[in-house]
């Protein structure tokens, strides 16, 4: 009788999103998911799939993305990290690896996600081009700080989500939105459980529009409260980073 036992793993990994066509597996283009699955399939000697905690847009980055998968044979986690990193695209790095129980799911068991978004308000820097939103002009930081506070708590974020959700439910709870500025780099941190398609980039777009004095805070609040149906600009993906996921 053959041994059908599977060994389930959770990996924590980082990647440079500018080198891939997004996280999600694609048929005719490179992706983070596709690259990890390519390497795991070699190690596992059969087609192997991962289930990520979430998808990042094309051009967005990650410090602490997570995914689970199953292997036919046990490999000690530290050894598995080394093997994967030896074969994988150099713009992906596996940082941590754990054995998890059979019921674990990287997406559904996630309790909290933290993202950051980086903006350069100083002089244009070609080295920042793929890693920050280069506005290259000073913004009204105080107004931006007030705008950030609007998004904390439970809200219906429909007008800050791109596309339609299958269940028409856009409710989410954001635990923290914190904005900081060091030299000419503004960083906005978002902490919550559920973030939908382009949601963070749309929130950042609103915050930046307020900082540019193109939109006032009352208008943003009215959009959030669905008193007016209006869409504000979407911030580009290159400033977005998935920082960490908490289980």
Catalytic positions are 57
Element (H, E) at 57: none
Q: Give buried/exposed letters for 153-162 (b at 16+ CB in 10 A, else e).
A: eebebbbbbe
d(CA 26, CA 14): 19
Length of the chain: 247
Token pair, residue 63, equals 């410090």
Q: Give buried/exposed letters for 231-246 (b at 16+ CB in 10 A, else e).
A: ebebbbbbbbbbbbbe
Phi, psi dihedrals of residue 79, rounded to the nearest 5°: -70, -35
């Amino acid at each position: 009788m053959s041994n059908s036992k599977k060994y389930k793993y959770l990996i924590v990994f980082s990647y440079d999103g500018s080198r891939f066509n997004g996280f999600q597996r694609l048929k005719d283009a490179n992706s983070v998911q596709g690259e990890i699955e390519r390497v795991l399939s070699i190690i596992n000697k059969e087609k192997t799939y991962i289930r990520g905690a979430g998808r990042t847009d094309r051009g967005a980055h990650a410090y602490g993305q997570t995914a689970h998968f199953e292997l036919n044979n046990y490999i000690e986690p530290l050894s598995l990290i080394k093997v994967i990193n030896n074969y994988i695209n150099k713009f992906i790095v596996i940082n941590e690896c754990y054995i998890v129980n059979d019921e674990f799911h990287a997406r559904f068991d996630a309790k909290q996600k933290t993202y950051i978004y980086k903006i350069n308000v100083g002089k244009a820097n070609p080295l920042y081009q793929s890693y920050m939103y280069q506005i290259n002009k000073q913004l009204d930081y105080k107004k931006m700080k007030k705008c950030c506070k609007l998004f904390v708590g439970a809200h219906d974020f429909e007008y800050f989500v791109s596309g339609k959700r299958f269940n028409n439910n856009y409710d989410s709870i954001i635990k923290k939105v914190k904005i900081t500025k060091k030299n000419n780099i503004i960083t906005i941190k978002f902490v919550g459980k559920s973030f939908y398609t382009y949601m963070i980039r749309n929130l950042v777009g609103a915050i930046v529009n307020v900082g540019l004095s193109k939109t006032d805070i009352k208008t943003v609040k009215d959009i959030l409260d669905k008193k007016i149906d209006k869409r504000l600009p979407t911030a580009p993906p290159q400033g977005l980073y998935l920082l960490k996921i908490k289980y």
